[in-house]
């Protein structure tokens, strides 16, 4: 199973880069309050928040099990996290079937 996950991540290298970057950035923020996350370009240019502003803060609040803080940061996190998990698992299941057909 580990072999399949590594093969999947190698094939979908953009997922690997994004997951690795956000994992390191969030871990650094949670452990030592170092901010290396990319700021919202929309907010920098226009001065207004986009619909995605606060998602990282909401994710960090969820990791701390602070449901109310996550909701107040951006309630969309409660829809996006399950949707992303579902889509990645669906794609991985399709990848697993393709690999099993090939050999």
Give the chain's domain count.
1
The residue range of the domain holding 88 is 2-102
pTM attached to this predicted model: 0.75
pLDDT of 20-69, one tens digit each?
Answer: 998 999 899 888 888 888 888 888 899 898 888 889 889 989 989 999 99
Query: In which residue are the tokens 């996190």 written?
Result: 77
Residue 6 has pLDDT above 70, yes or no: yes
Distance between terminal CA atoms of the chain?
Answer: 15
Contact 50, 43 (CB under 8 A): yes
The continuous run of DSSP H or E covering 100 comes out as helix 77-102
pLDDT band (50, 70, 90) for residue 103? low
pLDDT (tens digit, 9 = 90+) per residue, 62-100?
A: 989 999 999 999 999 999 999 999 998 999 999 999 888
């Amino acid at each position: 199973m580990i072999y399949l996950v590594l093969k999947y991540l190698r094939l979908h290298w953009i997922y690997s880069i994004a997951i690795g970057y956000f994992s390191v950035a969030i871990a650094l923020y949670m452990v030592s309050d170092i901010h290396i996350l990319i700021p919202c370009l929309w907010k920098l240019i226009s001065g207004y928040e986009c619909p995605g502003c606060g998602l990282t803060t909401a994710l960090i609040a969820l990791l701390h099990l602070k449901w109310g803080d996550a909701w107040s940061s951006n309630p969309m996190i409660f829809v996006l996290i399950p949707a992303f998990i579902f889509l990645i698992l669906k794609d991985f299941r399709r990848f697993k079937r393709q690999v099993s057909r090939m050999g």
